[in-house]
Amino acid sequence: MISIVLDVVGAVLLVIGLTLMTISLYGVLRMPDTYSQLHAQGLATGPGVIAVLASSVATENAAVITFAALAIAFVVLTSPVSGHAIARAAHRRDNTGG
């Protein structure tokens, strides 16, 4: 019973994550500006990959779930920082004209 529930939860999380990553990649492909691309990439990719990593609860394997939680914590910490670093670099380059 709980296995079926976990399978359904994992599949739903997988679909959500893949949809978010597809939206993000489409935004990066279509947007003309660096800041617009960064908006699409930074806002949709992080939750997408978090959902894909969280779908590994369906494996019911303790080692897999622990490392998935570690990877989720790492993505939560680093995704905004890298987005901010790219945005600051683009801002500085635009302002100095170089």
17 binds another protein (CB under 8 A): yes
Nearer to another protein, 1 or 81 (CB): 81
Burial 31-57 (b: 16+ CB within 10 A, else e): eeeeeebbbbbbbbbbbbbbbbbbbbb
Query: In the chain, which residue ranges form alpha helices assigned H by DSSP?
Result: 2-30, 34-54, 62-96
Positions that interact with another protein (CB under 8 A): 7, 10-11, 14, 17-18, 21-22, 24-25, 28-29, 34, 37-38, 41, 45-46, 48-49, 52-53, 55-56, 58-59, 61, 63-64, 66-68, 70-71, 74-75, 78-79, 81-83, 85-86, 88-90, 92-93
